[in-house]
Amino acid sequence: MQVLGKVLIAFLPDDLGSALKFALLFIFIPIIFLTLIFAGPITAYEKVPLVSYEQVQMYVTTAEKVSESTKNSYSNGVEVDWKDLVAIDAVRFNQDFSKISRDEIEELAKMFIEITGYAEVKEGDNVVKYPIYRLRSVDEVMNMLNFNKKQKDKVKEFLSIDFSELLDLPDVTISNGWKPVENELKWPISGGYTITSGFGARIDPVYGGESYHSGIDIAVPLGTPVKAAADGEVVYAGWNDGYGLVIFIWHNNNLETRYAHLSKIAVNKGQIVKAGDVIGYVGSTGKSTGPHLHFEVRIGGKAVNPLDFFK
């Protein structure tokens, strides 16, 4: 920031009023800076529920269990949609799904069920009452939860995206305990070897539909340092739609590596880096469903499978 300040002062014409100079330096530039830092992660954060595969399984099984409880000889029952539950909880818990419990999910699922009456059936000497159920709408449940307009809109925004792909088993291309063999390229993360999505065709986790996956996704906690895979020059460091905060590095032999969805960038365009240098930190910016490093290798501009370099 200090260095940047000096650079910017150097660019300002000398005859500029000192008050204006002051305003530029201490008001507008920090505002632009903060906008750049926060705008990216926030947009990505708000696109899709940040729920893990295991947590999704809890929603699915609980929704099924509650739906199942509404079936009887006189009622086909109603189907509670796990996606409605996830969308509501994404708003209720402000995307922190670590706060949810199975009991709370069940409580929420039950709010979707209303008993509208009973079928009274004579069974032997007794009259047995079978409940007739109706599925409440998302709006009705949100009213019961006293959601305000903003919260309701947020839930609808989540539901406007088909996030059923969250149900797909993570596409683990290598077995547990696998370690990369480092040769021409170094592994870009210390200790993180879990690949949640491999290179090639896959279901788009954010927008749905088939899409080509131009790299591999390595699951690592938010803020994990990301390292340059080889010596090279930073040719891009900044925001890019889809990639979020991303770094492109050019190496020898027409080789290029890309590191996407970062929370923070620690290098500048034009900087020469050595293999293993920390260049940024793992995040979830851009088109991302949770913290991970999207690592890409290109030869002559064409994306290739990064894992081929680590066998």
* By the rule CB under 5 A, 47 interacts with Zn ion: no
Specify the stretch interacting with Zn ion by CB under 5 A; choose among 127-135, 180-188, 244-252, 288-296.
288-296
Our finding on whether 258 is near Zn ion (CB under 5 A) is no
217, 229, 247, 280: which one binds Zn ion (CB under 5 A): 217
Asked if 251 touches Zn ion (CB under 5 A), the answer is: no
Give the shortest CB-287-to-Zn ion separation in angstroms. Answer: 9
Rounded distance between C-alpha atoms, residue 52 and residue 206, angstroms: 13
Smaller CB separation from Zn ion, 232 or 244:
244
Which residue, 227 or 294, has its beta carbon nearer to Zn ion?
294
Residue 308's alpha-carbon distances to 107, 172, 198, 233, in angstroms, are: 48, 15, 11, 22
* Per CB under 5 A, 165 contacts Zn ion: no
| Shortest CB 211 distance to Zn ion, Å | 10
Residue 274 beta carbon to Zn ion: minimum distance, rounded to whole angstroms: 25
Does 294 bind Zn ion (CB under 5 A)? Our answer is yes
CB closer to Zn ion out of 82 and 244: 244
For the bound state, the minimum distance from the C-beta of residue 48 to Zn ion, rounded and expressed in Å, comes to 14
Candidate ranges 83-91, 120-128, 151-159, 291-299; the one touching Zn ion (CB under 5 A):
291-299
Q: Name the residue nearer to Zn ion (CB basis): 49 or 306.
A: 306
Contact region for Zn ion (CB under 5 A) — 108-116, 123-131, 216-224, 279-287? 216-224
Per CB under 5 A, which region of 159-167, 213-221, 241-249, 263-271 contacts Zn ion?
A: 213-221
> Which residue lies nearer to Zn ion by CB, 251 or 294?
294
Which of these ranges, 1-9, 77-85, 139-147, 214-222, lies near Zn ion under the rule CB under 5 A? Answer: 214-222
Of residues 242, 45, 241, the one with CA closest to residue 157: 45
227 binds Zn ion (CB under 5 A): no
Contacts with Zn ion by CB under 5 A lie at: 217, 294
